[in-house]
Amino acid sequence: MTVEDVLRETKAKVRATLPPSVDLTDVEFEGALLVIYTKHPEKFADMSDTVRHLAKILQKRIIIRPDPSVLQPIDESEKKIKSILPEDVELQNIYWEPDIGEVTIEVAKPGLAIGPGGSVLNEIKRAIGWTPKIQRAPPLPSKTVQEIRGYIRQMAEERKQFLRIVGRRLHRGTSTTQKPWVRMSALGAFREVGRSCSMLQTQDSKVLIDCGVKFNQDDPETPYIHTGEVLPFESIDAVVVTHAHLDHMGLVPLLFRLGFNGPIYCTPPTRDLMTLLQVDYLKVAAANGVRPPYTSDHIRQCIKQTITLNYGDTTDISPDVRLTLYNAGHILGSSVAHFHVGDGLYNVAWTGDIKYERTWLFNPAQNRFPRLEAVIMESTYGGAQDFQPSRKTASTGVKDIVERTLKKKGSVLFPVFAVGRSQEMMIVLEYLMRTEQIPKVPVYLDGMIWEATAIHTAYPEYLNNQLRAQIFQQGENPLLSDIFQRVDSYDKRQSIIDSTEPCVVLATSGMMTGGPVMEYLKAWAPDERHALVFCGFQADGTLGRRIQRGQRDLPVSEGPRPEQTRTVRINMDVDTVDGFSGHSDRRQLMNYIANMDPRPDRIFLGHGEESKCIELASALHRKFGAETRALMNLESVRFR
């Protein structure tokens, strides 16, 4: 059957199911959605049971859109929206998209704007003909979120065309001449960390999972994407991004430069954080005089072609593959990607990076699935000796150091990554100050941290249960506490450095390879009242690692010539707090599998040094009797 046949048959079923009085003007696939255009959108407000029934028989998610001829004028509609919305929703913005008949209403309290059972939303729909969409306005204005939302609105028409193409590709049908088969190829981050990339392949589809970059002394390393089974890039159906770390998504825009033209699937926060970090990656490359592998145009194409999914939403991503994303507990929006192949043919999940422990920010990684035969799991701390202290022990460590330092009138400097560790440290510090376990002093955020935090505040539903309850029921978001202050200028930074008032500073970069953290270090190092506290992994070869290991002479260059370099002595306290990792330790990885339901027959390990992948594979085999393997890059596994 051709796509046209499928569409014709679908239209006939839609027509037969809906009452004859409903005027249908068009039926189209947009991505995995079936879109029905009608001159009577108001009738659908009372037909949710019929639409649900239709969705079930067609096995499709259905969207009803008004035919452009029935849309009420924008100024009149705006007045009506304002009169219908409850006053306390705190309306921020209204955006119109006439080509798809959609209006986006940005409010501070989306729950109230939707109303019980969607009642307010339905009332708006009936009054104006447009399809209203409610979106949460980020409580901290985020430049990234605003620009992405603005860009997507501006690209609405192009995006609609793109989604129609995706929809038609999805319905091209499956081959019947071959016996179905399923396999995966290991393309990067097997027996190593960095450049994560795998391919899931069937007789009818090709799906890429992650496409990361590995940073080395010299050139950044690319996954093995130029191999036969991947090529040509045009033949890839979809790319799934598990989370927004550069070792998982740093080279996704490169795929567009190479000819890929399909959709990217990820959660909404992953899309936003991914964009922030890719733009920063280009900036850093330019600053270091390195030619980056892609341009900002490729990043924009990436945004335009991203289809976001919330946790638990299931969608078709190729004629025979269905994707569901689940919480991975690692960073904001991070996900375990579960694939259902064929009609019950095979089920396999990629964990991405997982944290199987409740952290200050996230719930533990999900390990319950409807069905599962194989899993591909990370092994960063999979070695036999890789045990880490709990979050509780780690937080006590922070309390002791901050308390001790403030007591001697010193300040505390934390080198941190902008995404993840910063926000977790913010929650810990806010908690310790609110419960009066440490004195209340200003906490300065320097670097990209403020922007990354703003993105976190835009997606509170991705935080752990406790934080969600605090935010939604008590209306208190600890990330918005007034103890936090943004450092956004040279003068502000200088005034903090020169001040004699004790404070806490969170600054990038996390491994002291540059960034604003260096300015505080240079100024504060000689003073023994201050403290430098590492709370994240320090890679070999970085200044952070050398200081952690005992180096106390800090070379500071004040110009290009060697004689302009002087040495500063580090007299400040140097401390390390372990236990804040976003990765599961050995015990948590073992428990993740032990409590997995259903437990898979086959477990493949990657994303770890060679010895860790091998040690974890053999431990899991001994414990659970499952088939386990530490795959090598370029190996393939046949599932069916």
Query: Which parts of this chain interact with Zn ion (CB under 5 A)?
Result: 245, 247, 353
User: Strands across the sheet with 182-188, in order?
Assistant: 306-308, 264-266, 238-240, 206-209, 197-202, 182-188, 636-638
> What b-and-e string marks burial along 94-121, b requiring 16 or more CB atoms within 10 Å of the CB?
bebbeebbbbbbbbebeebbbbeeeebb
- Measured CA to CA, the distance from residue 424 to residue 554 in angstroms comes to 29
Q: Which is nearer to Zn ion, 209 or 471 (CB)?
A: 209
Q: Which is nearer to Zn ion, 241 or 303 (CB)?
A: 241
Q: What is the DSSP letter of 221?
A: B
Q: Which is nearer to Zn ion, 171 or 195 (CB)?
A: 195
Q: Which amino acid type is present at position 443?
A: V
Q: Are strands 636-638 and 335-341 parallel, antiparallel or unpaired?
A: unpaired
Q: Which is nearer to Zn ion, 502 or 510 (CB)?
A: 510
Sign for the CA dihedral angle at 95, 96, 97, 103 comes to positive
Q: Minimal distance in Å, beta carbon 243 to Zn ion?
A: 6
Q: Which is nearer to Zn ion, 245 or 456 (CB)?
A: 245
Q: Are strands 553-557 and 565-569 parallel, antiparallel or unpaired?
A: antiparallel
Q: Minimal distance in Å, beta carbon 607 to Zn ion?
A: 6
- Measured CA to CA, the distance from residue 81 to residue 96 in angstroms comes to 12
Q: Which is nearer to Zn ion, 247 or 451 (CB)?
A: 247
Q: Which is nearer to Zn ion, 125 or 243 (CB)?
A: 243
Q: Which is nearer to Zn ion, 102 or 192 (CB)?
A: 192
The DSSP result for 122-136, as a single string, is: HHHHHHHSSEEEEEE
Q: Minimal distance in Å, beta carbon 431 to Zn ion?
A: 24
| Residue 637 Cα distances to 202, 226, 376, angstroms | 12, 18, 11
The DSSP result for 11-60, as a single string, is: HHHHHHHS-TTS-EEEEEEETTEEEEEES-HHHHTT-HHHHHHHHHHHTS
Beta bridge partners of 26: 37
Q: Minimal distance in Å, beta carbon 60 to Zn ion?
A: 33
Q: Which is nearer to Zn ion, 105 or 361 (CB)?
A: 361
Q: Which is nearer to Zn ion, 419 or 487 (CB)?
A: 419
Residue the block writes with tokens 């009506």:
80
Burial of 87 from C-beta contacts in 10 A (0-12 / 13-18 / 19+): exposed
Residue the block writes with tokens 């009085």:
21
Q: Which is nearer to Zn ion, 114 or 239 (CB)?
A: 239
| 316 alpha-carbon distance from chain centroid | 20
Q: Which residues contact 630 (CB under 8 A, 6 or more apart)?
A: 190, 191, 379, 604, 605, 606, 610, 613, 614, 616, 617
- Measured CA to CA, the distance from residue 503 to residue 483 in angstroms comes to 10
Burial of 130 from C-beta contacts in 10 A (0-12 / 13-18 / 19+): buried
Beta bridge partners of 221: 214
Q: Which is nearer to Zn ion, 247 or 386 (CB)?
A: 247
Q: What is the DSSP letter of 329?
A: S
Q: Minimal distance in Å, beta carbon 245 to Zn ion?
A: 4
CB atoms within 10 A of CB 79: 12
Q: Minimal distance in Å, beta carbon 330 to Zn ion?
A: 6
Q: Which is nearer to Zn ion, 122 or 196 (CB)?
A: 196
Q: Which is nearer to Zn ion, 237 or 353 (CB)?
A: 353
Q: Minimal distance in Å, beta carbon 184 to Zn ion?
A: 18
| 25: its two tokens | 């003007």
| 298: its two tokens | 């490729």
| Residue 254 Cα distances to 225, 261, 269, angstroms | 11, 11, 21
Q: Which amino acid type is present at position 101?
A: G
Beta bridge partners of 136: 107
Q: Which is nearer to Zn ion, 106 or 247 (CB)?
A: 247
Task: Tell me the CA end-to-end span of the chain in Å, nearest whole number.
Answer: 25
Q: Minimal distance in Å, beta carbon 244 to Zn ion?
A: 8
Q: Minimal distance in Å, beta carbon 378 to Zn ion?
A: 7
